[in-house]
Amino acid sequence: MLNWHLAGAIETASQGDKTVNKITIWGRKSSVNVQSVLWCLDELDLTYHRIDAGFTYGVVTTADFLAMNPNGKVPVLIDADGPAIFEAGAILRYVATQYAAAPFWPETPAARAVVDKWAEWAKLNFASQFISSVFWPLVRIPPSQRDCSAITMALGLVEKELAIADKILASNAYLAGDDLSLADIQLGHCLYRYYDIDVRRADLPYLRAYYDRLRARPAFARHVMVSYDELRVTTG
Ligand SMILES: N[C@@H](CCC(=O)N[C@@H](CS)C(=O)NCC(=O)O)C(=O)O
């Protein structure tokens, strides 16, 4: 078994009256994919140990880590003596299936698919596109080297997708209905960055109201509204 538990970079989620279990998650707090998992765990009142990994924290290139995730990426989650799980979407589904119930993650295949289709949609069409083609170029590429027209075009495409969410949110409080579900984790975990970065945003009033509802959730504020200053490249 791995020795990360002894590495000294361990954080225990506040215990309170939360269920104590044996979830360990590898990943830095500034990783948007890690944030989605931490937010979900917190919404479900689950405790965990978090171990810093990735970017300047290293770890991800070690043999032990690569044995868990050959992609060398965070997050990775192990629950008790279960397998190492990588890919935030797979981790979220595992956590929800193991620990959540309806309406967050309904039981019957048909009801679950209503949540899952929006979770998948949000991850693929918004989160992944926004992070790779808008957020990352703005934060990690020095201003003098940025392709501003490519970023503007990418933002326009992302906002076409967000307009679909805006329409849904005109009549739903949350993406898959009236209650928070796994679909909101996959849409909401990138909204802090979307509303925080310095771009001219489309007018999407229902999405904005939804984001304000998410901001009022303590777990969202704790894990998603996190500074990404450590990622910024400002010179050049
Ligand atoms: N598709 C993967 C992407 C994982 C990923 O790209 N993680 C980033 C952080 S958000 C990473 O590990 N980057 C390298 C690093 O931090 O060292 C997922 O959804 O989990």
Could you tell me the CATH number of the domain that includes residue 44?
3.40.30.10
77, 94, 162, 179 from 210: Cα distances, Å? 29, 26, 12, 12
Write down the pLDDT at residue 192: 98
Structure tokens at 175: 């993406």
CATH number at residue 172: 1.20.1050.10
Ligand 1 atom with least separation from CA of 32: 10
Does a structural domain hold residue 215?
A: yes
Centroid of chain to Cα 42? 12
Q: Quick one: 123 and 89 in the same domain?
A: no
Does a structural domain hold residue 30?
A: yes
Q: Quick one: 113 and 213 in the same domain?
A: yes
Q: Quick one: 128 and 47 in the same domain?
A: no
CA of 14 to the centre of ligand 1 (A): 25
Identify the domain boundary among 49, 70, 99: 99
Q: Quick one: 126 and 202 in the same domain?
A: yes
Does a structural domain hold residue 198?
A: yes
For 175, the domain range is 109-231
Count the alpha carbons within 13 Å of 24 in the hemisphere toward its beta carbon. 21
Identify the domain boundary among 65, 99, 133: 99
Q: Quick one: 195 and 217 in the same domain?
A: yes
Q: In what order do the strands lie in the sheet with 10-12?
A: 10-12, 49-51, 23-26, 76-79, 85-86
Q: Quick one: 46 and 145 in the same domain?
A: no
Q: Quick one: 182 and 200 in the same domain?
A: yes
Ligand 1 atom with least separation from CA of 73: 12
Average the pLDDT over 173-196 and give the result.
Answer: 98
Q: Please work out whether the CB of residue 193 comes within 6 Å of at least one atom of ligand 1.
A: no
Q: Please work out whether the CB of residue 120 comes within 6 Å of at least one atom of ligand 1.
A: no
Average the pLDDT over 141-170 and give the result.
Answer: 97
Average the pLDDT over 188-216 and give the result.
Answer: 98
Q: Quick one: 56 and 129 in the same domain?
A: no
Does a structural domain hold residue 104?
A: no
Q: Quick one: 142 and 217 in the same domain?
A: yes
pLDDT at 29 over 90: yes
Residue range 207-226, pLDDT digits in tens: 999 999 999 999 999 999 99
Contact 119, 186 (CB under 8 A): yes
Contact 65, 76 (CB under 8 A): yes
Count the alpha carbons within 13 Å of 81 in the hemisphere toward its beta carbon. 1
- Binned at pLDDT 50, 70 and 90, residue 44 comes out as very high
Structure tokens at 234: 């400002």
Q: Quick one: 32 and 117 in the same domain?
A: no
Contact 103, 179 (CB under 8 A): yes
Write down the pLDDT at residue 3: 37
Contact 92, 39 (CB under 8 A): no
Identify the domain boundary among 35, 69, 99: 99
Number of domains in the chain: 2
Q: Please work out whether the CB of residue 87 comes within 6 Å of at least one atom of ligand 1.
A: yes
Instruction: Return the amino acid letter for 15.
Output: Q
Residue range 50-68, pLDDT digits in tens: 999 999 999 999 999 999 9
Q: Quick one: 131 and 172 in the same domain?
A: yes
Q: Please work out whether the CB of residue 73 comes within 6 Å of at least one atom of ligand 1.
A: yes
Predicted model pTM: 0.92
Following DSSP, what letter does each residue of 40-97 receive, concatenated?
HHHHTTB--EEE--SGGG--TTSHHHHHH-TT--S-EEEETTS--EESHHHHHHHHHH
Q: Go through 164-187 and write b for each residue having 16 or more CB atoms within 10 A of its CB, e for each that does not.
A: ebbebbeebebbbbeebbbbbbbb
Select the more confidently predicted residue: 161 or 10.
161
pLDDT at 6 over 80: no
